[in-house]
Amino acid sequence: MKPHTVKVTPAALKDLLGDPLYSGVVRHFVRTTGEEPAYVERQLLECLRYLYLLSRYPERLVGLFLPVEQAIDEVWHYLILQTREYRELCEERLPGRFFIHHRSLPYEDYQQGQPNRERMLEEALRWLPLYREEFGPYDEGALPHWTMVRFLHQRMGLSLEEIAALEAEAPPTAERAC
Mean pLDDT of the chain: 87
Q: For residues 45 and 48, give the distance between their C-alpha atoms in angstroms, rounded to a whole number.
A: 5
54 or 124, higher pLDDT: 54
- Interval 43-71: pLDDT, tens: 999 999 999 999 999 999 987 877 899 99
- Interval 71-120: pLDDT, tens: 999 999 999 999 999 999 999 999 999 999 987 655 555 455 555 667 76
- Interval 6-16: pLDDT, tens: 799 999 999 99
| Averaged pLDDT, 132-140 | 95
Q: Give the Å distances, CA to CA, from 100 to 48, 53, 161.
A: 12, 11, 31
Global pTM reads 0.86
Cβ proximity of 82 and 21 under 8 Å: yes
DSSP string of 48-83? HHHHHHHHH-HHHHTTS---B-HHHHHHHHHHHHSH
Position 173 confidence tier, pLDDT thresholds 50, 70, 90: very low
Bridge partners, 146 (sequence order): 68
